[in-house]
Amino acid sequence: MVEMLESSGIKKERVILVNNPTYYHDDFSETKGEDMVPCRSAESAATYAAACLEAGKEIGVTSIDIHKMFAEDPRGRRLFTDGLHFSPSGSELLLNEIWPFIEKKVHEFSGTSSLEQQLPYWMSIRETFKTKCSK
């Protein structure tokens, strides 16, 4: 993935790798049914998370270990809606962990500590879409 980004002109110094969080197979299979359950386990998720960090280290890319962070958080399963996808509290935990890294990268490469809005604010164009969709 990092090589693909580099081939597109994105320097690896700008890349942040985030490994996968913990996984609760029983919760996911209970919610989705056995025919929808991926072939993974908590152990394979941990192995993949460690490999992601090792790969980041080998190629010199900033890496964030959210697997460990989620595994050590006392809220455990409540950080997920179904054992795989984040609940609001899981999303907030992820954001709080990665935001300082994003701010640092933005500051390093733009000289500012804030992100500038690139597209129009959705509220400023919603009437356009409301009109088109209601016809």
Domains of the chain, by residue range, sit at 2-133
Structure-model confidence comparison of residues 44 and 118, the more confident one: 44
**Predicted local confidence at residue 132, as pLDDT:** 52
Exposure string (b/e) for 24-63, b if CB count within 10 Å is 16 or more?
Answer: bbeebbebeeeeebeeeeeeebbeebeebbeebeeeebeb
Q: Averaged over 123-134, what is the pLDDT? A: 62
* 11 three-class SS: coil
- Residue 76: left if φ>0, alpha if ψ -120 to 50, beta else—which one? left
**Predicted local confidence at residue 46, as pLDDT:** 94
Q: How far apart are the C-alpha atoms of 20 and 70, rounded to whole Å?
A: 10
Q: Could you tell me the two tokens for 134?
A: 């209601």
Structure-model confidence comparison of residues 52 and 123, the more confident one: 52
**What average pLDDT does the structure give for the chain?**
84
Q: What angle do CA 53, 110, 19 make, to 5 degrees?
A: 15
**Predicted local confidence at residue 36, as pLDDT:** 64
Q: Residues 6 or more apart from 103 whose CB is under 8 A from it?
A: 113
pLDDT band of 108, cuts 50, 70, 90: confident
The share of the chain scoring above pLDDT 70, in percent, equals 80
pLDDT band of 27, cuts 50, 70, 90: confident
Q: Which class would CATH give 2-133? A: alpha beta
**Predicted local confidence at residue 134, as pLDDT:** 46
**Predicted local confidence at residue 114, as pLDDT:** 64
**Predicted local confidence at residue 135, as pLDDT:** 46
Of the candidates 11, 12, 6, 100, the residue with the CA atom closest to the CA atom of residue 61:
12
Q: Residues 6 or more apart from 10 whose CB is under 8 A from it?
A: none
Q: Averaged over 86-105, what is the pLDDT? A: 93
